[in-house]
Amino acid sequence: MAWWFRIKLWKRVFLGLALGVAFGLVVAQTMDPVAAEALLAKAKVVGDVFIRLIRMIVVPLVFFTLTAGVYAMGDPKKLGSLGVKAFALYFLTTFFANLIGLSMGALFRPGEGVDLGGAEPRQIGEAQPLGERLMAIIPENPFTALVEGDMLAVIFFSLLLGVGLLMARKEGEPAGRFFEAASEAVLKMTYIIMELAPFGVFGLIAYVAGTQGIATFTAILSLTLAVYLGCALHMLIVYGGLVRVILNLPFVDFFRGILDAMMVAYSTSSSSATLPVTIRAVSENLGVKKSVAGSVLPLGATINMDGTSLYLGIVALFTAQAFGYALEPQHYFLIALTAALVSIGTAGVPSASLFLLAIVLDVFEVSPEHAALVIGFIFPFDRLLDMMRTVVNVTGDAAVATAVAKWEGELDEDVFRAKPAS
């Protein structure tokens, strides 16, 4: 089996992805539907185990690496500088994501001629008011937040704890060393789990391809093309431009260094589940120091949802075109603003952003019935669209972490320019 581990991880993940698609399609085409779904469900169990392992590690990973990352800075003032730069970049890239999403929706006009009469309406949950969402960042009980996996609350508590350790100075050194050691141990656990990625990806993609098939794409080809092309342009132009033009770093080396994370993001549709892989790729392949990777990436996995913002803009125009709503220039601005705001803090799990769509559609007074029909129409194949927008989110996290590290003097450019070790 030594030959298997000599193959770079991203190549093994890609192999699992390709074989999963082929297996799923062959099973769906050659077997009885009931038997095919039963077999694909068994394959999916491997993927579910992989996802469960990653979700098991996410909360301790964020808690320990973020606390250790803040402690490693050595100066609370540095956290403020780093945080301002990270937030500014996250919001700036979201602005461009909105522009690209609305442009793709206007160019492809995916809603024209679409008949939503056969769609089954899906109930729309009530959106949490902005004030409540902001208040929820502060946990009443940090241990409850850790148990429930409330990522914004965990991040808030970890940041404060790290600052507290810095302010404690000599008395805080034993606890600081504990968090640094725990962070290393959790990262080693992550490496073990990631060796299962090719098999987990195979099971997940086989099930999606076999149960939803290529017909899913052709049924809504224009919407699929708009989302995929918009996401690709955003990664190449915005993130690629940030790396090549602003940071003066090799464009190809950046994307090559995070291929593992992009592959896992595509197969899992979860920014949170991909976080351990992103931290590993950014630290080992891009040369971002742990003090930056451990603080910027967990924050990005929670608040940086460029793919979601881009997607919501496209689907808002899809809705307007499908039902004949007339949009004025101010509507486009309000759609972009609302999509950006609701995307912040979106749960990093599959299809979570779809149920925020009703908030965006309220900008041009879409009826609840029409909103429910659109969600019902998109939901069956949203996983395929979600896969691509999750890649955007993860790539954005890596690009911002790289930029902040470069500006803070925490980037090893020799590592960045070297070929990835795995």
**Per-residue DSSP letter, 265:** H
Residue 218 lies in a domain: yes
Whose tokens are 């909105």? That residue is 98
Between the ranges 79-93, 187-201, 282-296, 386-400, where is the mean pLDDT highest? 386-400
Task: Please answer whether residues 97 and 238 qualify as being in contact, where contact means their C-beta atoms are separated by less than 8 angstroms.
Answer: yes
Query: Looking at the 3D structure of the chain, how many domains does it have?
Result: 1
Q: Which of 28-32, 119-123, 306-310, 354-358 has the lowest mean pLDDT?
A: 119-123
Q: Specify which residues 288 forms β-bridges with.
A: 411
349 band by pLDDT with thresholds 50, 70 and 90: very low
Residue 120's pLDDT band (boundaries 50, 70, 90)?
Answer: low
Answer whether residue 177 shows pLDDT above 80.
yes
Residue 82 phi, psi dihedral angles, 5° rounding: -65, -45
pLDDT at 122: 52
The pLDDT, as a whole number, for residue 344 is 63
Give the pLDDT confidence score for residue 217 in this predicted structure: 55
Residue 421 exposed, middle or buried by CB count within 10 Å (0-12, 13-18, 19+): exposed
Amino acid letter for position 57: I
- Type of residue at 337: L
Give the chain's mean pLDDT: 81
Residue 26 domain-assigned (yes or no): yes
Instruction: Select the more confidently predicted residue: 17 or 223.
Output: 223
How far is CA 110 from each of CA 217, 225, 381, rounded to the nearest angstrom? 13, 9, 15
pLDDT value of residue 280: 87
Buried b (16+ CB within 10 A) or exposed e, 332-344: bebbbebbbbbbb
And the tokens for 245? 């033009």
Lowest mean pLDDT among 61-65, 141-145, 240-244, 274-278: 61-65
CB contact set of 135 (below 8 Å; sequence gap of 6+): none
Length of the chain: 422
The more confident residue out of 222 and 345 is: 222
The C-alpha atoms of residue 314 and residue 231 are separated, in whole angstroms, by: 11
Greater confidence (79 vs 260) lies with 260
pLDDT at 402 over 80: yes
Beta carbons of 233 and 116 less than 8 angstroms apart: no
Q: Which domain holds residue 174?
A: 2-417
Determine the pLDDT at residue 254: 95
Residue 328 has pLDDT above 70, yes or no: yes
Q: According to the model, what pLDDT value does residue 246 have?
A: 93
Percent of the chain predicted with pLDDT > 90: 17
360 pLDDT exceeds 50? yes
What secondary structure letter does DSSP report for 353?
A: G
* Secondary structure (3-state) at 420: coil
Task: Determine the Cα angle at 12 with ends 63 and 242, to 5°.
Answer: 60
pLDDT band at 214 (very low <50, low <70, confident <90, very high): low
- Of 371, 363, 365, 342, give the one whose Cα is nearest residue 127: 342
Distance, in Å, from the CA atom of 102 to the CA atom of 375, rounded to the nearest integer, reads: 19
pLDDT for residue 348: 46
Per-residue pLDDT tens digits for 361-398: 877 878 777 877 787 777 667 777 888 989 999 999 99
3-state helix, strand, coil in the chain (%, to 5): 80, 0, 20
pLDDT average, residue stretch 336-345: 73
422 within domain boundaries: no
pLDDT band at 142 (very low <50, low <70, confident <90, very high): confident
- Per-residue pLDDT tens digits for 77-87: 666 777 788 88
* 15 compared with 81, residue with greater pLDDT: 15
Is there a domain that residue 172 lies in?
Answer: yes
Predicted pLDDT at 73: 67
Which tokens in the block code for residue 389?
A: 């927008």
359 against 374, higher pLDDT: 374
Confidence of residue 258 (pLDDT cuts 50, 70, 90): very high
Which residue would you say has higher pLDDT here, 127 or 147? 147
Whether the CB-CB separation of 303 and 90 falls below 8 Å is answered with yes
Q: Considering the domain boundaries, does residue 310 fall inside one? A: yes
Residue 54's domain is classified under what CATH number?
Answer: 1.10.3860.10
CB 69 within 8 A of CB 184: no
Query: 3-class DSSP state for residue 250?
Result: coil
CA dihedral defined by 4, 5, 6, 10, rounded to 10 degrees? Answer: 90
